[in-house]
Amino acid sequence: MAVTFSNLHTESGLKALNDFLSGKSYISGNKLTKDDIKVYAAVLKNPGDSFPNVSQWYNSVSSQLAASFPGKAVGVGFGGKAAPAESAKAEAADDDDDLDLFGDETEEDKKAAEEREAAKKSAKKKESGKSSVLMDVKPWDDETDMKKLEEAVRSVEMPGLLWGASKLVAVGYGIKKLQIMLTIVDDLVSVDTLIEECLTTEPRNEYIQSCDIVAFNKI
């Protein structure tokens, strides 16, 4: 859970940080982390004995940061009304009065995450209802190549459509029809549209005369 510190350039803010650090060596866990660096940047200077917990923590962070930069420093002085470093720290503190230690995630990141979750829920919802369909596919006559007819049927591909087992059933006068199973996702596939716009139109209507629904069952 995120920890928030406010107004670390004021006594009230330092008091809250001092209370938080009671019995602790670092902001998060037992080692120096980027949480410590972030809070350290918002504290203008070591507050001294007025806030002993903050002072001890500040010195610890300072010493570890110094060890990370082994080059020999010759010292730098600043002229003018205010030292730039302190001025920059004060501005950072003003701009970030509410310091969220886990605030690295931007609004854009949050929005993108929310959109991904919404898309997942939407996809689940779309696939919630399925149906099993038994369909008769009739040829034009006894000279129709039934193997090519079945290939034409199975060549129809769309999201939410799965072709299943099939067999040829005699109709009479040497004519056979194709009886085929299919499973559909109800919100993605309309059987009427499948027949009217895919199976009985060119080029598949060269082999297919008509289609009838024999059975339609919810899964």
Strand residues in the chain grouped as ranges (E): 4-6, 98-100, 130-139, 161-172, 175-185, 208-218
Is there a single domain that holds both residue 213 and residue 142? yes
Give, for 55, the enclosing helix (H) or strand (E).
helix 52-67
Amino acid, single-letter form, for residue 62: S
Read off the CATH number of the domain in which 159 is found.
3.30.70.60
Which structural domain, as residue segments, surrounds residue 37? 11-68
pTM over cut 0.85: no
| Closest C-alpha among 86, 89, 87, 13 to residue 51 | 13
Q: Express as a percent the part of the chain with pLDDT over 90.
A: 48
Residue 85 lies in a domain: no
What is the mean predicted confidence (pLDDT) over 21-41? 88
The pLDDT tens digits for 35-85 are 888 889 888 889 889 899 989 999 988 888 877 766 666 666 556 554 444
Residue ending a domain, choose from 68, 86, 101: 68
Is there a single domain that holds both residue 59 and residue 136? no
The number of distinct structural domains making up the chain is 2
- Which residues are CB-neighbours of 8 under 8 A, at least 6 positions away? 14, 17, 39, 42, 43, 44, 93, 99
Residue ending a domain, choose from 48, 68, 88: 68
Is there a single domain that holds both residue 134 and residue 214? yes
Residue 120 lies in a domain: no
